Structures are given as C-alpha cells and as structure tokens.
Amino acid sequence: MKSFDAIVIGGGQAGPFLAARMVEKGMKVALIERKFLGGTCVNAGCMPTKTLVASARAAHVARRGAVYGVNIPGEIAIDMKVVRARAETVTMNARNGLIGWFAGMDGMTVIYGHARFEDPKTVSVNGETLTAPRIFLNVGARPVIPDLPGINDIDYLTSTSIIHLDTLPRHLAVIGGSYIGLEFAQMYRRFGAEVSVIEHGPKLASREDEDISDAIADVLRSEGIDIHTGVSDIAFSRSSDGITVATDSARIDASHVLIATGRKPNTDDLGLDAAGVVTDKHGYITVDDRLATNVDGIWALGDCNGHGAFTHTSYNDFEIAAANLLDGDDRKVSSRILAYALYIDPPLGRVGMTEKQARASGRKIMISTRPMSRVGRANERGETKGFMKVIADAETKKILGAAILGIEGDEVIHGIVDAMNAGTTYPALQWSVPIHPTVSELIPTLLGDLKPV
C-alpha cells in the first residue's frame, strides 16, 4: 500500500490546482485521472468548442463581408479537416501544458487509471492500493443518453464525439435546445449544414426568462435554423441516406444526430458505497457549504457535486477548498453569485436572478431593458441583435441579476458580476464615467432607466 497526504481523483479544473497547492505546502499528493488531464473543459468542452465557435464566426463574417464593403468573390468554403485540427491543437497545447507542469513538481504523483474506493481512506487503481487521510473527488460529468425509441439503432453524436468530426453533416438534427445543443446548432449552420433543433420544452434555454428565450430563438431562426419546441415524442430510424427523426409534429431527414439532453455525474463506478459517501437521486455527491461530503476526510469538487456545471464554478470550488484547508479561511459555496454565458453569437452573459426568480422572491423589484439597436458599438459593428436587462431590489438598491444578450455580452456582464460581488448599489454605478464607444458604457444608462414593477 502506498501512502500519501492527499489523493485527488479526477484531473478537471478543480483537482489539479488543489493538488498543486498542497504540493507547494510540502504535501505528498497522488492525482488519479482515468483518461486526460484537464477534464471536460480542456478536452471536450470550453477550449475545443469555443475554438470551433471562432471558426464558425469567421465563416459568418466572411459571408457578410459585402455589408461592410468587403467583397470576397466566390463561395466561402469550409475545410472541416483544418477546423478540427485547429481545435485539436488548442486542446493538446493545454493538456500538454498540464502534463509538463506536473512532471516538474516534486511531491506530485500522476497516475492514469480508474480509481475505486476500498474504504473511506483507501482507493485502488491499476491493481495498486493507495491511502490518504484526505481524498478529493473531481470526477466531472458525461452526456446523458435518453431512452428514446430507435436510439440504439443509429450512430448518434454527443458533445464529446462531435468535436472530432472532420466532415460537414448534410443535415444535423440536434436533440435538446439548451446551451450545449444551441452552440453546436449555430456553429454547424455557419459551417454550411442544414440544422434542426428539437426541444421537449416549450422554449429554448428554458432556464432563462421568456423574453431571453424568444430572442435566442429569433437569432437562430434568422440564420436558417429550424426550431421545433414542445415536442413530446421522438423516434429514430435508419434511412437510405441517413437517419429519420420522427416527432409528433415533424419528420426530419437527417444525416447526423447530436444528443444534447443534459449531463450526469461520473459517480456510479467509484465504489462510493464502500466509502459510505452519500449521493442524491441524480447521482450528485452531497456536500456541505464547504464541499465536504458526509464522510470525514472526503470532499467533492466540480460538476460531480451538483453546485455548478461550469469551468469557473469548478475552479471556484478549488479556491474554496484551498482557502479553508490550507489558508485558515472560512469560505462557503453559498456565498457564490452564479454567472455564466451561452456562446451563441451574439453571446448571452448572465448573472444572479432571472426576472422570474426575482418576482417569485417577494421583493419589490425594478427592471430596465435596452435593445442592442440603441448601443453605439453594436451599430458600428453592424450587430444589433439582442438586448440588455437588469433587475434590482427597490429597497436595498442592490442589483439582483442581469442578462446581456448581444455583441460582447459575455464580457460586458462582468461589470455587473463585479458590482454584485462587491455589494455595490446601482446608484453608485450609475454615475461612473465609462469609455466610449463600448457596449459597457451603456450599463450606467441601463441602471438609470430602472423602473418599479
């Protein structure tokens, strides 16, 4: 049996950085990863997909060149092999950077293999037994495959496998109208494929307010994406030249099907029962406000704990654990103000409460909206789709939440994110003097237009 001061299972965005901090403190740490360092973000999420989004945007801008007085003769052609290779290069550079970083770190042992608990202080991997007083789980999540008629008779894609495509689908059917599915839908439409989105719910991006969901649908429809919402029945069958997707309202002749119906935690094969670690009914590991499980000496970080399915929330889990365990601090998950983005183009930046949540809270609230068509930078760039919205508490003057669907919305939202984390009231922001011409310069104006509802 090999003994360590700590064992980290999973090489995503929380575990490796926590392992590195512990090594800096002089600890002997084992980092166990069953496949690739970097987790979903580096290998199948943020980095490759946003690289693909960038290629798709380049194609879109090139096709619109004439609008800006830039005439490009002939049809804009897409070389999917180059597109894929570029995304793979970005992934490999990041992955290899982590490999090199850990290789030069005394006290760090990286083990590739599948870890399972033997008891609360012991795990087995590759036939070896490892023990430590502290064990951290950072095992991530994977795509959910729903039990739909005919799904096992077709070759479907997931968000993990589609990034390896080096040919262009004739017609891509996307099952699921949430964040992952919508990013791939727009991306492949811009590459030149026909695209249909099929969503069980009444709206796309159902977490968002209806006005945001409707605006997202308008953006996608304007680019020729076929959207089907409120679909109750879906079945698949092979056809002579692809896959038939039959719903209660349409029949789609697709060449490829992407299943984007959510993700589930990678907790079902860790031997958690042997350690006594409790999970909820969805398989997420139950943790307290400081990320500790019900078993002393075991923590769960990142997607597997159900407290955020984003790279930045996973990294923040690392920050919380490191601050509490290594720096004598007392940080809590409940102090985190959730922010995220949807990377269609234009992107959606979101923070805090939706309007629906704010109304349901019983607070006296104020709301302000502004169309992107009334933003100078958007007009100058010729990208005026979307709008900005902010919600505030009428009594405390604190900002409760905001949504910016529009050009650079994923960056602009950080002005609101920072203000909310600092506890700044909206009147204090209203009199700032922002730089012109930017999108962010409209934040004080947006706040100045807050009206009670």
Find the distance separating the first CA and the last CA of the chain, reported in whole Å: 64
In the chain, the largest separation of any two C-alpha atoms, in whole Å, equals 70
Residue 45 in tokens: 């999420």
Coil, strand, or helix at residue 184?
A: helix
Distance CA 132, CA 322 (A): 17
221's enclosing H/E stretch is helix 210-222
CA–CA separation, 339 and 333 (whole Å): 14
Q: Could you read off the pLDDT of 32-63 as tens digits, one per residue?
A: 999 999 999 999 999 999 999 999 999 999 99
Say how many residues make up the chain: 453
Residue-wise pLDDT tens digits, 230-285: 999 999 999 999 999 999 989 999 999 999 999 999 999 999 999 999 999 999 99
DSSP per residue, 91-115: HHHHHHHHHHHHHT-TTEEEEES--
Q: Residue with structure tokens 């087995």? A: 124
Average pLDDT, the chain: 97
- The tens digit of pLDDT for each residue in 190-237 reads 999 999 999 999 999 999 999 999 999 999 999 999 999 999 999 999
**Residue found by looking up tokens 């990678």 in the block:** 266
**CA angle 5–106–8, rounded 5-degree value:** 40
> Tell me, what's the pLDDT at 199?
98
pLDDT attached to residue 219: 98
DSSP state of 170: S
Collapsing DSSP to helix, strand or coil, 25 comes out as coil
Q: For the residues of 196-207, what is the DSSP string, one character each?
A: EEE-SSSSSSTT
| Separation of alpha carbons 242 and 237, rounded Å | 9
pLDDT in tens, 342-371: 999 999 999 999 999 999 999 999 999 999
* φ and ψ of 78, to 5 deg: -115, 125
Say whether 384 sits in a helix, a strand or coil: coil
CA distance 401 to 130: 45
**Residue 412: which H helix or E strand, with range?**
helix 409-422
Average pLDDT over residues 179-193: 98
Which amino acid belongs to residue 234? I
Looking at 164, 200, 256, 436, which residue is catalytic? Answer: 436
For residue 436, indicate whether it is catalytic.
Answer: yes
Q: With cut-offs at 50, 70 and 90, classify the pLDDT of residue 309.
A: confident
Q: Give Rg (Cα) of the chain.
A: 24
Q: Mean of the pLDDT values across residues 329-333?
A: 97
- Domains, the chain, ordered by start: 2-142+264-335 (3.50.50.60), 151-261 (3.50.50.60), 339-452 (3.30.390.30)
* C-beta separation of 385 from 219 below 8 A: yes
Residue with tokens 């919508």: 182
Predicted pLDDT at 308: 87
Q: What percent of the chain has pLDDT over 90?
A: 99
Say how many C-beta atoms besides its own lie within 10 A of residue 226's C-beta: 18
